[in-house]
Amino acid sequence: MADWQLHRRLNITHSLTRNLPKEILSYIFELVCAPTEADDPPDNCPRIILASVSSHWHEVVWTTPQLWRTYSAIHPLQRMVSTLQMFADNHRAPSSIHLTFHFLGEGGIEALLQAFETVLLQDAASHIRQIVLTNLPPEYMTIIKVINEHCFNIKKLYISKCRLSYDLSSWSYFLTTQFPSCWSTLTNLGLKGFPLDICFDSLFGCPQLIRLAWEVPTRPINGLTRPQHRQAQVTSFPHLEYLSLSFDSPSDWIPWFNSFVQFYQFPGLRELHWLISFHFDHQSPELLNRFLSTLPRCCDTLRLSIHIYYPYVTLKKWMKSALLHVGEIKNLIVSDDNPTSFLLMMQLFRDPAFFPSLTHFKYCCSMKDCVENEVIINSIYEALKGRKETSVKSFSLQVPLWEFPYWAAQRVELSRLMDDASFKLEIIRGCEKLDL
């Protein structure tokens, strides 16, 4: 009897429930399908899940173009190929495509690229604005030629390869074409694991670049003298606002860097990200100082990633010499796994001459238990106390997920620093913001 009454109430409720208007559902679905970051794809393809709930939802999903702006293929091959085919069958070319080739065998890669090409060959390929290819094997780089032939309005491109390859046949397309020479509309470019000479060609092939990232380029495949052909005159890239450089083989790319510093100008650069890696040893700081001396006054953000153990004295000497070239840096972001860097940074930060125009300082520490918590709190307090009366308006410390206890007395000290509403202090453990 009770079950019958329950079913009756459910049936009555269902009969009185109307479908949400398409406009409202479309708005909700857009939020569900939206990427978490502006340039990041979603983690899967939620449209398929939403469309399978009911016939009404299915109709809304398939008739709302806004839901098909971004496609991410980061799942098993069969699902990726079938979903790409779904895009092609319905003549939908998303404005953003993200494909990953990790753990795919040779047959799987070819199947995915074939499906990918099917989408690109549609008449709507000109709608594609962003393409991300992750872990693409060098022997399949010919897909770039297909993109070059069919996508004429790309704004953002990121390509990373999954392994080293010095086989010239893998790069034959780039050796005969200034990559990507015909993409005059490209504004964002990221290349990871590409030979350095190809990276340089990409810069000249994209005169409208706003953001450029070279991540761990490999040694040039066409000799070390090739940068000479770029030295006929000084070249300016007025649109470039963000530049990220991380190199791994200084002996191979020093001639290229010399050309880079001497003949390339970035008058509109606003943010520089520089990686100091293990292979640089003592060369990276000197090279960075040279590059800092060429920065325009408008460059106000500097990101330093330190992935090498430097002796305390060496690091301190380098940081002080770098101060001579920082210009009007207002935002400083430092991330490192160097156990001596934190205390050094706090000691330097205490001095008003350290980045005198600085307003925001963020320090990301990836070394677990590298410094005792009491020492961390005390060093932060002493450093901020000395800089609070200057232009500094905020300080942020990001630490990994481990216990970060501090005593009530330390909390009181930190709270005093935040009495002024114009000053912001935060400590983030993982993704959790600690209550100070």
Residue spans of the domains in the chain: they are: 302-402+410-417+423-436
Q: Output the pLDDT for position 75.
A: 52
Looking at per-residue pLDDT, the higher value among 178 and 425 belongs to 425
> How sure is the predictor about 42, in pLDDT bands with cuts at 50, 70 and 90?
very low
Q: Given this model, what pLDDT does residue 224 score?
A: 46
Please give the average per-residue pLDDT across 411-425, as a whole number: 68
**What is the model's pLDDT at position 1?**
54
C-alpha of 20 from chain center? 38
Residue 343: pLDDT over 70: yes
Interval 412-424 mean pLDDT: 67
The residue among 5 and 230 whose pLDDT is bigger is 5
Of 101-115, 160-174, 347-361, 415-429, which gets the smallest average pLDDT? Answer: 160-174
H or E segment to which residue 286 belongs = helix 283-292
181 versus 396: the higher-pLDDT residue is 396
pLDDT at 225: 46
Backbone angles phi, psi at 77, to 5 degrees: -55, -45
Which tokens in the block code for residue 116? 């990918």
Cite the beta strand spans of 135-192 per DSSP E. 156-160, 188-192
What pLDDT score does 211 carry? 93
Mean pLDDT of 328-339: 80
Give the residue among 220, 219, 202 at the shortest CA–CA distance from 211.
Answer: 202
- pLDDT of 242: 94
Confidence band of 285 (pLDDT split at 50, 70, 90): low
pLDDT given at position 188 = 92
Q: What is the pLDDT of residue 339?
A: 60
- Is pLDDT of 155 > 80? yes
How high is the pLDDT of residue 240? 92
Cα-trace Rg, the chain = 26
Q: What integer is the mean pLDDT of 205-230?
A: 72
pLDDT band at residue 228 using 50, 70 and 90 as cut-offs: very low
Q: pTM (2 decimals)? A: 0.76
Q: Which residue has the higher pLDDT, 85 or 129?
A: 129
Residue with tokens 């390859």: 165
Measured distance CA(318)–CA(296) in Å, rounded? 21
Is residue 304 within 8 Å of residue 333, measured between CB atoms?
yes
- Three-state DSSP at 218 gives strand
Q: What is the mean pLDDT of the chain?
A: 72
Higher pLDDT, 224 or 22: 22
Q: Higher model confidence: residue 58 or residue 176? A: 58
What is the mean pLDDT of the segment spanning 419-432?
A: 72
Percent above pLDDT 70 for the chain: 57
Mean pLDDT, residues 270-285 taken together: 68
Give me the pLDDT at residue 37, please: 46
For residue 210, the model assigns a pLDDT of 93
The per-residue pLDDT for 418 is: 64
Kindly report, residue by residue over 195-214, the tens digit of the pLDDT.
877 787 777 778 888 999 98
- 60, 156, 210, 368 from 24: Cα distances, Å: 10, 31, 36, 47
What confidence category does residue 36 fall into, taking pLDDT thresholds of 50, 70 and 90? Answer: very low
Quick: pLDDT tens for 67-122.
Answer: 766 666 555 555 666 666 666 665 566 677 777 776 666 677 777 777 777 766 66
Question: Percentages helix, strand, coil for the chain, rounded to the nearest 5?
Answer: 45, 20, 40
The set of residues, in sequence order, having a beta carbon less than 8 Å from that of 59 and lying 6+ positions away, is: 22
